Structure 1
Amino acid sequence: MAADPDQSARTLSDVVRDRRAELGMSLREAEERCVDPETGKPVSRAYINNLEKATPNLEPPTPARLRALAVGFEVPLSLLQEAAGRQFYGVSTVWESSGKARALVARFEELDPVDQDRVLAMLEAFASAKPKAE
């Protein structure tokens, strides 16, 4: 599944719910497959279920959870990062005609310092996941 402009406009809840349905996976299977390759820690089926339902006050996903979801649902990490940014931090992605994305942080200054730090950490995780130009 390749990232495209239409996909990036969706929330993380939408992407996870739709992708699990596409793969015909139960929550138990999703938990078994969604394991962070760096830490070996799975994403619980309770978290996946709450994420799919867009449960109010759900804790934003950590970089480890996003990596695990990317592996388990066979989607690009960047797609999940963009969808999580949109849902949890008000980050929108603007697609240019070239297909490159630029993240804009909506109302960043209105966020409290903790959430600002989370947004910055998410952007750093996104940037560090990209291959470095030689």
Structure 2
Amino acid sequence: MAAEESQERTDLSDLVASRMEELGLSYRRLEELCLDPEAPAAGETGERLWKRGTLENLAKRRRIKTPDLPQLRALAAGLQLDLEQVRAAAGAQFLGIDTVWSEDGRVRALVAGFREMDPEDQDKVLALMQSRRRVRRGG
């Protein structure tokens, strides 16, 4: 697909664009900061996991190849965000998987198409999460 085509979901794109604005980052600077913190000798080899053009395409809601885990770790590091926040946004944008949290924020479920469900079905998912939490606690 051409880079000019827009993504249907833009969760990660929106996160990148808003965080870049908050931090006052250029695409070039973000490229420099996107180093996988788990890579051996991160930053010493000069190998970048993100290119300036790819970051620009992502932030401008153009199609890019689905990023892998090392790229997501590097992006989280560059944007100074929690990896789980970046993973959730990528899962939503590239796989249509929504991260759903229980009311108390202690239970998480990955649900395909949760945002597209009607409110009644969303409530059923949340109730199932709550019931599973009660079972695990023993009552």
Q: Aligned partner of 1:54: which letter?
A: R
| CA distance in structure 2 between the partners assigned to 1:92 and 1:26 by the alignment | 29
CA positional deviation for 1:16: 0.6
| CA distance in structure 2 between the partners assigned to 1:61 and 1:104 by the alignment | 20
Q: SS of 1:61's equivalent?
A: coil
TM-score, scaled relative to structure 2 = 0.65
1:61 and 2:78 matched = no
| CA distance in structure 1 between the partners assigned to 2:67 and 2:86 by the alignment | 10
Structure 1 unaligned blocks of 5 or more: 1-9, 108-134
Tell me the equivalent position of 2:92.
86
Q: Aligned partner of 1:48: which letter?
A: L
1:74 and 2:74 matched = no
Q: SS of 2:55's equivalent?
A: helix
| CA distance in structure 1 between the partners assigned to 2:102 and 2:79 by the alignment | 27
Residue correspondences, number: 97
RMSD: 1.7
Question: Structure 1 segments of 4 or more deviating over 3 A?
Answer: none
| CA distance in structure 1 between the partners assigned to 2:78 and 2:87 by the alignment | 15
TM-score, scaled relative to structure 1 = 0.67
| CA distance in structure 2 between the partners assigned to 1:38 and 1:47 by the alignment | 22
Structure 2 unaligned blocks of 5 or more: 1-9, 115-139
CA positional deviation for 1:105: 2.5
